[in-house]
Amino acid sequence: MIWIWIILAPILGGLLYGGERVLRARMQRRQGPPFLQPFYDMFKLLDKRTLIIHAPHALLAIAHFFVLWLSVAAIFLGWNLLYIIFLHLFAQLLLVVAGYSVRSVYSHLGSNRELLMVVAYEPILIFVSVGFYLVSGSFEIAEILKTGGYLTQLPLLFAALLVIVPIKVKKSPFDVGEAHQEIVGGVEVEYSGVFYEFLYMSRFLEYIFIYSFVYLFGGDSSWAGMLLVAGVFLLVNLADNATARVRTLQMVKIVSMTAMAFSVINLAVVVL
């Protein structure tokens, strides 16, 4: 049964992404795309002409997708949370290297932004994992889900996670990697056709990855985990519609001053 969920993970992420686009359209009082629009986009990309800058650039996009898929599979299988975070970091670095592997200035700019995003959110994910360990006594997801009371013991760590969720799903005010308000996108600017589709599907997996961390705060109550995911999903989209994108260095500063401080304070209180 778990393997079925793993195989369907990109589809589940696509449904989540499609629901988000519908919700955002309703918040803006417009018709918006249909619920299955992400999958229509995938089929449309298959008909697009594929241009390859060079072979490593194309292969890095495929590798990024499959390593990211592996990190999501590890979550479903209940692996060690630290290993999963580092596996996800490896997937992100593959994308960064892909951006640097071509001569495009815009692609290099996207890689720079991706690196700064990693610097901002990666320590928070590790702090959250340490918080789960201090409460449950294990880094294994299977063991973490057997313990409850994370929200009462780790409220500031949950707040820190809320700060970085918009970074991972590329939503304002921290949409610095893609910067959808700009004419030119991020690392994927030099991709086209089927190789861009791999990056497009990677976005679906990112949703599953980061919202899995939100779900873990529900602990031994699956209903609490699902309610937390639904609440954070709504909150992130409200913030996306109500805020403007900040500059990259501002994002790093805000995360360092808020999420990092919340994490350190909460861990210190739990240890003491």
- For the chain, domain boundaries: 2-271
How distant is the alpha carbon of residue 252 from its chain centre? 16
Residue 101's pLDDT band (cuts 50, 70, 90): very high
CA dist 268 and 184 (Å) reads: 43
CA dist 137 and 58 (Å) reads: 42
The predicted pLDDT at position 266 comes to: 96
How confident is the model over 229-251, as pLDDT tens digits?
999 999 999 998 888 888 888 99
Share the mean pLDDT of the chain: 90
Q: Do residues 135 and 220 touch, judged by C-beta distance below 8 A?
A: no
Closest CA to 84 of 138, 124, 136, 140: 140
Q: Buried (b) or exposed (e) across 86-113, using 16+ Cβ within 10 A?
A: ebbbebbbbbbbbbbbbebebbebbbbb
CA dist 268 and 272 (Å) reads: 6
DSSP secondary structure string, 221-271? -HHHHHHHHHHHHHHHHHHHHH--PPPHHHHHHHHHHTHHHHHHHHHHHHH
How confident is the model over 143-173, as pLDDT tens digits?
999 998 899 999 999 999 999 999 999 888 8
CA dist 88 and 185 (Å) reads: 22
Residue 147 DSSP SS3 = coil
Encoded tokens for 123: 């320590």
The predicted pLDDT at position 194 comes to: 87
Q: Buried (b) or exposed (e) across 248-258, using 16+ Cβ within 10 A?
A: beebbebbeeb
Count of residues for the chain?
A: 272
Q: For 92, how many CA atoms within 13 A lie in the half-sphere containing its CB?
A: 23
pLDDT at 73 exceeding the cut of 70: yes
Alpha helices in the chain (DSSP H): 2-7, 9-27, 37-46, 55-76, 81-100, 105-136, 141-144, 150-153, 155-168, 193-216, 222-242, 248-257, 259-271
The predicted pLDDT at position 136 comes to: 93
How distant is the alpha carbon of residue 220 from its chain centre? 23
Encoded tokens for 120: 């901002």
pLDDT at 183 exceeding the cut of 60: no
